[in-house]
Structure 1
Amino acid sequence: MSELRNSEAPISTITYDRNELDAPTNNIYEAISIVSKRANQINGDIKKELIEKLEEFATYTDSLEEVFENKEQIEVSKFYERLPKPHAIAIEEWLNDKIYYRNTEKE
């Protein structure tokens, strides 16, 4: 997960060159499919890690009316909100040839 924290992916929306995105596959739909599958994997990893971190600070009470503001939980949540979005990380990995893929139909 540390490589996702050090990602150079943009935090805001940017425009990509379509030809650059589909260059490895020569098919924009196949490229988007590969990137979207990787983005789903990244999202799952981030979600799992966030839940694990928040569980460390969880306080359980018998009363549903009691709500505690836990500063550690808020800071952890804010950190994860500032990370680049999973699709931006996946596109960055794709453009830097960090995603392994294969087309089983061509084999």
Structure 2
Amino acid sequence: MRKKYLIPGVGAIALAICLVSFTSSPTVVTDQFWVLKDGATISTDPSDYEPGASPCAGSTEFCGFLAPEDGVSNEPVISGLTEQDLDDLSDNPNDPVNSSGKISYRN
């Protein structure tokens, strides 16, 4: 008699797991604009940056960059081409680079 209830019970649990899996929505990661904190210099250290208002329009002086927040410490995730751009700028701040397309400058 137990077998009659065991099979439908397992099926119901499997169905519930499938429904939860298919109904949960994916997390969307969006970039946020980050600017240097007062007294900080251009670096690849996330703690040197804080959220800023919006990207600047210009071509000569570093203004900030776009990157997602790490979700834990309210700091940017700095990686890939953005990390390389910031590293290049920290070595030579007067030579604007933007291989990542995420760096913003002002005049």
TM-score range, shorter chain: under 0.3
Q: Which has the higher contact order (CA 8 A, sep 6+)?
A: 1
So what's the TM-score if we normalise by structure 2? Answer: 0.25
Q: Which has the larger radius of gyration?
A: 2
Q: Per residue, is there more strand in 1 or in 2?
A: 2
